Structure 1
């Protein structure tokens, strides 16, 4: 019984292996993904921004990013002074800081943000409708 279970697990391991890659620092994909997210971050948080990458995944033409926007040089962004709060009326108490996640699609050589959130307090991308296109980069929720 134990041998059968161990064999089944070993056979399944390749299927459970990571199906995505992380674009290397300085790579064209990494730059293009950050460039695709920057206008959204600057519209909501004010310009200029740079990103600290927490998680960046690519599988084929699907991409996922989880980043912490900050000001150039590493200054933290005060969420209460951002357009997201001042222009759009978001209550900073309901935001999880400035964390940003995005689901991206590569069209030719261009990365495009299709869905994104800033300050989400839940795992908004854990939705079955995203799995057909982005399941390879968010397997933990698909």
Structure 2
């Protein structure tokens, strides 16, 4: 094979790989794990201890948003008492502050490292889009945060 033909073959292969990768990255930068899946449970269980400490008791999550890429998971959840009861903000770690919060909505960010999901950051009841800073602070892709 001549040098020019070998170079042309490598160039075609390079373009094909870039096109395939770009299609995947741009076509669907994130996914939502199925309800009841082990991955979904693992992501929520990563967030649970921090939220239970703040809520001062066990919680279940109602998932509003869950976006997962290979290395990142972003969630927006509504915590509730096991079985579905509402949580009284005045009986949580936010007692006396709840009037300055936008409910108990929780936003969480986890990363997949060392074979498991690890909580990176979370916030409860922000009155603005506080998680927007996570893009710059942690390098999370904006599409995972819904900020494309």
Please confirm whether the aligned pair reaches a TM-score higher than 0.5, indicating the same fold: yes
Structure 2 CA distance for partners of 1:112 and 1:129, relative to 1, 3 Å = same
Partner of 1:34: 44
Alignment partner for residue 65 of structure 1, among 66, 75, 78? Answer: 75
Q: 1:132: Cα distance to partner?
A: 2.6
Residue aligning to 2:103? 97
- Structure 1 equivalent of residue 113 of structure 2: 107
Query: TM-score by structure 2 length?
Result: 0.76
Long gaps (5+) in structure 1: 1-13
Query: Per-residue deviation at 1:49?
Result: 0.3
**In structure 2, distance between residues paired with 1:131 and 1:18:** 21
Q: Which of 1 and 2 has higher RCO (CA within 8 Å, sep 6+)?
A: 1
Match of 2:94 among 84, 105, 110: 84
Measured against aligned partners, the alpha-carbon deviations of 1:42-95 in whole angstroms (never above 9, x if no partner) come to 11012110000000111111110000000011101010111232xxxx511111
1:137 corresponds to which residue? Answer: 144
Partner in structure 2 of residue 43 of structure 1: 53
SS in 2 for 1:41: helix
CA contact (8 A) 1:59 1:136 kept: no
Q: CA RMSD in A?
A: 1.9
Answer with 1 or 2: which has the greater Rg. Answer: 2
**Gaps (5+ residues) in structure 2?**
1-22
Answer whether contact 1:63 1:134 (CA < 8 A) is retained. Answer: no
1:19 is displaced (CA, Å) by 1.1
Runs of 4+ in 1 over 4 A off after TM superposition: none
| Range with bigger deviation, 23-32 or 62-71 | 23-32
